[in-house]
Amino acid sequence: MSDLIISVSGVRGIIGDSLTPCVAMELGQAFGELLKQTALDDQTVTPVKVAIGRDSRISGPMIQAAFSAGLMSVGVHAVDMGITTTPSAALMGRFLKADAAVVITASHNPPEYNGIKFISHDGIAYSGDIIYQLRKMYESRSWTLESIDHIGSQTSDSRSHANHVQAILQLVDAKGISTQRYRVVLDSINGAGCAPSPMLLGKLGVELAHVNNQATGRFAHPPEPTRENLTDLCHQVTRHRAAVGFAQDPDADRLAVVDERGVYIGEEYTLALAALSRVMVKPGVIVCNLSTSRMVDDIAAKFHSTVIRTPVGEANVAAAMMEHQAVIGGEGNGGVIDPRIGLIRDSLIGMTLILELMNRTGKTLSQLVNAIPRYAMIKTKFSATRADADELVEKVKLEFADKKLDLQDGVRIDWPEGWVHVRPSNTEPIARVIAEAADEKTAQELIARVQRISGTR
């Protein structure tokens, strides 16, 4: 049996194995009890309420129903948002004045996975400390079931998509973008982005070719928006003579981009382009994680802005964004966080900022990309238990003790010619090794230095 992963990224597990309806119900009970205790500490007298949605995964209705049952059994009210994107759910939770929002999603993981993402009342993913408390409560089964007079109720609310789209439109020059009549190909992978994305792009005057646009949960290709998984999108961009191609993951918090030539430019450029779009207008602090490309540093330097780096995980990025009053932030995996909308990754604002950048500059996407210093990044991973991954991190720290190290999250080693980041995954039983340098050969050499220590190839 595989392990249930509970981390700062929420819960991930394999359906019928580590994640079952019984597990989901008990997690709902634990989370509901934790919220009730927090409300008591804050002397809140209104009933605790959780807004809960899901991506389109086939197992979603089952896990959502079980989690909601757990909430109600401990006296917490559930608001069913149906299929919704993670950023839409976060925004809707604030709109409903809920105590928390929950999304049943495994993000980019394969279809056999599902998960549970926890978002606080202010629309921010919970910190590691809160998730640790949740895990302890779940493992100790320390909750109290309510009697018939005090069990929670369930209602529904389907406004999350419209609410999200309207919030974005209030921030951008929608009329200016509309005048360009950009032709866009969007791949929503039959996920949660199928409904709000065409709604938004339609308001921006886009001529849209929408592929994999039915929220069936039957993913048309592996869900992580990587180069090898998006060959058809590249073909569709050239076929439609589009200005840009966008690809979402199943819960639509990540975005990958294809330029007008049908060239996959990747997830790393998503944040870089979004950051350029913002600091060109409002210089300030940019927050990103340790695994994010140096492109962001180059953009910041050009526009009198600064970069703050954090451990991987949007909760860590969001906390630093609040602390430093950042104008934009995110992660190099295609996650853009715009604090004007919310402190959570959002593919819809990512698409909008890129279109706004193209409109403002009058440049094609490839021209914008070519103006940003180019690096070669190699992302590798290998199966490893958490203990094995932690052991590798310790070996790397000892081997490169005389180098510049950042120990916020695993270990990142910086050399003049590039960097390597080694860390356990928060969402899968793997270790991730990421390297970046000016060219691919150098990046490969940096990866090889770590592989020699780990014994992997």
Which residues are designated catalytic? 107
DSSP code string of 172-199: S-HHHHHHH--EEEEE-TTSGGGTHHHH
* Assigned token pair, 45: 């007298």
H and E: helices and strands count for the chain:
15, 21
Give the position of tokens 């408390």.
133
Closest alpha carbon to 250 in 53, 41, 441, 62: 53
* Assigned token pair, 250: 């199943």
For residues 397 and 250, what is the distance between their CA atoms, to the nearest angstrom?
Answer: 35
Is 410 exposed, middle or buried (CB count within 10 Å of its CB: 0-12, 13-18, 19+)? buried
Is 164 exposed, middle or buried (CB count within 10 Å of its CB: 0-12, 13-18, 19+)? buried
Length of the chain, please?
Answer: 457
Strands 328-331 and 285-289: parallel
Phi, psi dihedrals of residue 211, rounded to the nearest 5° = -105, 155
